[in-house]
Amino acid sequence: MLFRGLDEQRSGLKSSWLSRLKLVYEDEDVIVVDKPAGLLTMATEKERRKTAYSFLYAYVKNKKPPEKIFIVHRLDREASGLLVFAKTEYAKRHLQDQFRDHSATRKYVAVVEGRVRQDMCRIESYLAENAAHRAYSSKDQTKAKLAVTHIRVLQRFRQTTLIEARLESGRKHQIRAHLSERGHPIVGDRDYGSQINRLHRLALHAVHLTFKHPRTGKFLQFESPYPASFRFL
């Protein structure tokens, strides 16, 4: 279901982005969306209007009565898939606590360069960030944070591998850095060493999101199929 009822001319939002940002679920506490590749989650110094947050902000402000929106977690600009936003400060804190204690589950599907040998593996390291804002594994635990990624091979191709990644922690560029350091950068990820970019985007999609509803306590589960183009790389 797409967003409806927004006055695009007044808000200054491009209809192409608005039509591609899909509303998956909404109630009085949370909103779950399926973000397209190329759209920021939140504003940066260079871009403040074309973001998932700004579109949702305009959407809830048009409601009667107007509502609020809060960022819970992020998805890289060139990645796609599921994101949850909160509509109250209490819901935001509750959801972020779930991401911190790992009771919320996030799974991603990616296409990586090369043939991953192990069917399943666990990658653990302490991730830091360099001056170029790229993540890397460091032995200095005073400057880095623990990151754990679980990898499962879904299908092997001649030059690439389709994998599922489950986050046990949520560090910036965690999946991208971990896979690159294993010699399997995500297709389209030039920042982390990819030499293939046939899709002209990052071949990473958030396919699964599970969390406990901040008010009712009920577990909510959402799925978003990864792009069919992932299988043609």
**What's the whole-number mean pLDDT along residues 30-55?**
85
Residue type, 52: A
Q: What is the largest CA-CA distance in the chain?
A: 55
Task: Tell me the catalytic residues.
Answer: 76
pLDDT digits (tens, 9 = 90+) for 9-19: 344 444 555 56
pLDDT value at 98 more than 50: yes
pLDDT digits (tens, 9 = 90+) for 71-86: 999 999 999 999 999 9
35 confidence band (pLDDT: 50, 70, 90)? very high
Alpha-helix residue ranges (DSSP H) falling in the chain:
8-11, 15-20, 52-61, 89-101, 174-181
Q: CATH 3.30.2350.10: does it fit domain 8-232? A: yes
pLDDT tens for residues 102-121?
Answer: 899 999 999 999 999 999 99
Place of tokens 């506490």: 29
Query: SS3 helix, strand, coil % of the chain, rounded to 5?
Result: 20, 35, 45
pLDDT (tens digit per residue) in 200-219: 899 999 999 999 999 999 99
Predicted pLDDT of residue 12? 45
Please check the confidence at residue 3 and state whether its pLDDT lies above 60.
no
Spell out the domain ranges in the chain: 8-232
- What is the pLDDT at residue 19? 66
Q: Do residues 150 and 144 lie in contact, with contact meaning Cβ atoms separated by under 8 Å?
A: no
